[in-house]
Chains A and B, each alone.
Chain A
Amino acid sequence: MHSANDVPTVRPQRRLHSVRCDIPDRCDVRFTPVATPKTRPLLYTALLRLPDRIDWLDAPVAPGYVADLRVAGARAVGRSDEAAMRIPPGLRVPAGEAVRWSIAPRDAPSLRVSGVFRLVSAPERDRLDRALARLEDVADPEYRAVVSAIVQAQVGLYQDALGILDNLLARGGICGKLSPGPVAMLAHRAGLWVLRSMKAAAGADLSPSARKWMELRSAYHADAMAAVRAPESGRLGAEPIALSRLPSVGRSMCVL
């Protein structure tokens, strides 16, 4: 059993272009890029649009980094003194094509971290837009958020889906119709579903770092669900305990 500090956490986005991604010290996922304005690590996910740059956790003693992006036969290698890389404007990233990235400190190639992201294809985008439009009919904001996360994950936007669920958990009960505890349970359950879908879709593309991250995050959702379900605070009332057990913010991974 790990503690709450072992799990990756993501601080909800506050402003469009000023976001942070927080990963606890003991998580093995380092040098993991995130895309502006998204806060999620790009270990295995689809994106709606290509980010201008990617940023990652600055290792304290790294003299610099080597970042490598490969897509559709093209390759971009960047050497950077800072924990960021601007995606070359000339790099063509066709929708649906996997962008394989890897990043390592210049003096420690063995610490390489890698992952995959891709842009959603036009049919996926169309499917997503139609599905999201239909969700406007769901009156209850908590349910709408959970179903929206499911729909996003179904087209591969795993990190966006997890972001929706994180925001829902951070807000607690927002509508008032449902108690925070049951909403948290549902959000954690949906989180587990998203992660399992991600794992199934990734198959062999899942890097060891992504696998580790996924295991930690899955354990976090499972533990949190169990905490809400726990009978210790009454049949229907584990809400305060569940919310207080959400992982605390670890150290800052990157600031975009």
Chain B
Amino acid sequence: MAVVSRTRPGRPDPDLPLVLGHQAGAADAFTRLWRKYEPRLRRYFLQATRSDADADDLASDTFLAALRSMPRFSADGAGPDGGNAALFSTYLYAIARNQLSLWRRRRRRHPEMPLSLSGREGEDDLEAEVRPLASGVSDAELRDPSELLLEAERGDAICRALASLDSDAQFCAVLLHYVAGWTHEDVGQFLGARKESVNSRLQDGRRSLRRGIETFDPRAAPT
């Protein structure tokens, strides 16, 4: 099993005690890992497949594969500072990515399978185009799984940051521009506001959003 390693000097893998516990035979260690990662994996798969059923299946398959291969997972990649180079989350998402690749291959062989939740083709492309800020994990297969994990959490952080915009004018303009993908002119026309006013709201909103996202950024927070 290929493991995508990700070095985080000075930060030990928070899952390592559970991994070692499972390897030592602790009954609930794997269950706790499952509880922690199942919702995230499900979100990851749902985003990639647009199908509840497929997301459920893929999450289950990923955990089954992880369970089978767990004895082979080791902390041998430990860095000189004691940090674990190969995080369990990275390892799990590498399995997830493999499962997703297999699913995509199967799907290509069976094109009669539904393409997306909404049945509209090209939605992935639209998402990346229309929501530059809140586009989340649309390009799932091409990116590092551990990055995707962080991005899923970042998606939540963006959502919270949007909700935390104090100014009503900013809130409305930011939603229409960054979430709905409207141009400054469209936003101004719809809200009956001048272009300069929209620009100013968006500029201020962007600053507030950035602050909000940094506040909630999981990379900045202790694990």
Q: Is B27 an interface residue (CB 8 A)?
A: no
Residue contact A189 to B42, C-beta cutoff 8 Å = no
Residue contact A235 to B216, C-beta cutoff 8 Å = yes
Query: What 1/0 mask marks residues of chain B from 126 to 161 whose CB sits below 8 Å from any chain A CB?
Result: 110011001011100000000000001101110110
Chain B residue at minimum C-beta to C-beta distance from A186: B163
Query: What 1/0 mask marks residues of chain A from 174 to 191 whose CB sits below 8 Å from any chain B CB?
Result: 011111011101101110
Residue contact B162 to A176, C-beta cutoff 8 Å = no
- Which of A6-14, A22-30, A131-139 binds B? A131-139
Residue contact A138 to B137, C-beta cutoff 8 Å = no
The smallest C-beta distance from A76 to any residue of chain B, in angstroms, reads 34
Which residues of chain B are near A140, meaning CB under 8 Å? 127, 131, 134, 136
- 8 A Cβ contacts from B155-193 to A: 155-157, 159-160, 162-165, 168, 171-172, 175-176, 179-182, 186, 190-191
Give the docked Cα–Cα distance between A35 and B153 (Å): 41
Using a CB–CB cutoff of 8 Å, the interface residues on chain A facing chain B are: 127, 131, 134-135, 137-140, 142-143, 146-147, 150-151, 154, 175-179, 181-183, 185-186, 188-190, 193, 196-197, 225, 229, 235-236
Give the docked Cα–Cα distance between A69 and B74 (Å): 76
Give the docked Cα–Cα distance between A186 and B212 (Å): 13
Give the docked Cα–Cα distance between A146 and B162 (Å): 11
Q: Is B84 an interface residue (CB 8 A)?
A: no
Which residues of chain B are near A186, meaning CB under 8 Å? 159-160, 162-163
Out of B46, B181, B182, name the residue touching A176 (CB < 8 Å). Answer: B46
Give the docked Cα–Cα distance between A71 and B126 (Å): 45
Residue contact A154 to B191, C-beta cutoff 8 Å = yes
Chain B residue at minimum C-beta to C-beta distance from A192: B168
Residue contact B190 to A147, C-beta cutoff 8 Å = no
Which residues of chain B are near A131, meaning CB under 8 Å? 190
Residue contact B175 to A176, C-beta cutoff 8 Å = no
Out of A143, A154, A193, A197, name the residue touching B190 (CB < 8 Å). Answer: A154
Q: Is B196 an interface residue (CB 8 A)?
A: no
Which residues of chain A are near B47, meaning CB under 8 Å? 176-177
The smallest C-beta distance from B131 to any residue of chain A, in angstroms, reads 7
Give the docked Cα–Cα distance between A127 and B191 (Å): 11
Residue contact A236 to B216, C-beta cutoff 8 Å = yes
Out of B126, B136, B190, name the residue touching A177 (CB < 8 Å). Answer: B136
Chain A residue at minimum C-beta to C-beta distance from B137: A177
Q: Is B52 an interface residue (CB 8 A)?
A: yes
- Given the interface pairs A147-B180, A176-B43, A186-B163, the reply to whether A139 lies near B130 with Cβ below 8 Å is yes
The smallest C-beta distance from A125 to any residue of chain B, in angstroms, reads 14
Query: What 1/0 mask marks residues of chain B from 2 to 37 whose CB sits below 8 Å from any chain A CB?
Result: 000000000000000000000000000000000000
Out of B117, B123, B136, B163, name the residue touching A189 (CB < 8 Å). Answer: B163
Which residues of chain A are near B218, meaning CB under 8 Å? 236
Residue contact A236 to B153, C-beta cutoff 8 Å = yes
Residue contact B165 to A189, C-beta cutoff 8 Å = yes
Residue contact A147 to B55, C-beta cutoff 8 Å = no
Q: Is B221 an interface residue (CB 8 A)?
A: yes
Residue contact B190 to A236, C-beta cutoff 8 Å = no
